[in-house]
Structure formats: C-alpha cells, structure tokens
Chain A
C-alpha cells in the first residue's frame, strides 16, 4: 500500500542554519505530494505541494522538489528562524482515492 517515510526527529538547529527534512514515498501511479506544518497547540496547515514529477513547491522560504526517480520530496530552507519551530508532516494523495497518507512527522526546534 501507499506509505510515506520521514526522517525521525527531533531536529535541533541554530537560527539561520540550513534545514533539510527527508521524505520518501511509496505509491502506485503519480501521487500529489504535500508538506504540512503543525505549530504548537494548532491544527495542521498546508506549507507547500507539488502535483507532478520535477515540480517544485515553495512557500515562506521553504522548498521541496518532487523527484520521481528517487521517490522523494525533501523539505529545505536556507535559513531557519525560531518561529519555524514546529512539527512537519510529509503527505501524499492519489487521484481516485480520498486518502491522504501522512508520514510520522518531524519535530524541528530552532534555537536563538
């Protein structure tokens, strides 16, 4: 079945450091891929998405590129801020289903 695998956290970085959170997926066909972010005490909100191979999603300085050859969708940011501290979820959905499959989440802590 479909699945999403994320790197385990927590990831702890200093402010202005470079961030990478790895995400790989297993799915038949051509899923859409998403990154959601959950700030403390809140629900998940969409950070970015990509719907086909080689698409790059970007938002708030975060980027991720849909790599079909490596079945990956790694999240990157060039310079993190304390306000980026949150839990990040990689997810996929396939056309024709109503299921969104989430990874286990990666907690990011950014220290001032």
Chain B
C-alpha cells in the first residue's frame, strides 16, 4: 500500500522569506510524486510533478520540489513567499503497483504567508 504524510497542518511564514512544506511518502516501486494547491472554494490546481530525471523539479508560480529517494521525501519550496501563496497544499504519490496509478493524497498543509 502507498501512503503520504504531510506532518504539518499549518505553516506560517513572513512575506519575502523562504518557505518549505514537507511531504514524505511510502510506496512499492518507483514513486510518481505531485504537488497541488487549492484556493478557497476551488478545485485543486497542479503545481509540479516528479516522474523521473533530475531530483529538483521546478513548477508553477516559482515553486520547486526536491525528490530525495533515501529520505523518501518530496518537500515543496519557494525562495521568497508571497501573501498570495496562502492556500492549502496537497502532496500526492502514485505508482505502478497493480498497474493502477491511482494517487494517494496527504492530509494537506495550510500555508499562511503574513504581510
């Protein structure tokens, strides 16, 4: 079975400071990793993904994430946070297990960027 852990329910950061939203995963075989963002009363929007290749993945809105196989982590980062980055962030993992590629989501982390 595959699983995702987002250990922080909420992350607070000041505008202009770097931010990190943590994600660790457990999966059989090669992981396919994703970050999504959700603004209030909206569906989820794709931010970035890791399938294969470079461990550092760059995505939308200046976000990036680093795949660390030994630590089974895929933390989301941004060098300089904006107030508009305040939202709910979800990490997800899928794999070829059983041929299904059905994603498993973390519980979500609320990011609050203070002016």
**A, B in one complex:** no
